[in-house]
């Protein structure tokens, strides 16, 4: 089965440095796999300013 040079490099790198994969998983938990704050979402929606159809036209 064909594998690109990049895929081979990454697999070799991760085999030699297993701590990188655990760090990647840990950082993913802090950035992506978290529950949204509903209060923050509500405040963002309330503070939204409607945009004019043509933003460069003077009032």
pLDDT tens-digit readout, 7-52: 999 999 999 999 999 999 888 888 777 788 899 999 999 999 888 8
Q: Does pLDDT of 59 surpass 80?
A: no
31: left (phi over 0), alpha (psi -120 to 50) or beta: alpha
Q: What per-residue confidence (pLDDT) applies to 34?
A: 78
pLDDT exceeds cutoff 90 at 54 = no
CA distance 10 to 15: 8
Please tell me the pTM assigned to this model.
0.47
Residue 24 CB partners (closer than 8 Å, separation 6+): none
Is the pLDDT assigned to residue 5 strictly greater than 90?
Answer: yes
């Amino acid at each position: 089965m064909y594998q690109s040079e990049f895929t081979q490099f990454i697999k070799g790198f991760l085999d030699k440095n297993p701590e990188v994969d655990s760090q990647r998983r840990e950082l993913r938990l802090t950035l992506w796999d978290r529950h949204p704050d509903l209060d923050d979402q509500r405040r963002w929606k309330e503070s939204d300013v409607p945009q004019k159809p043509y933003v460069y036209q003077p009032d």
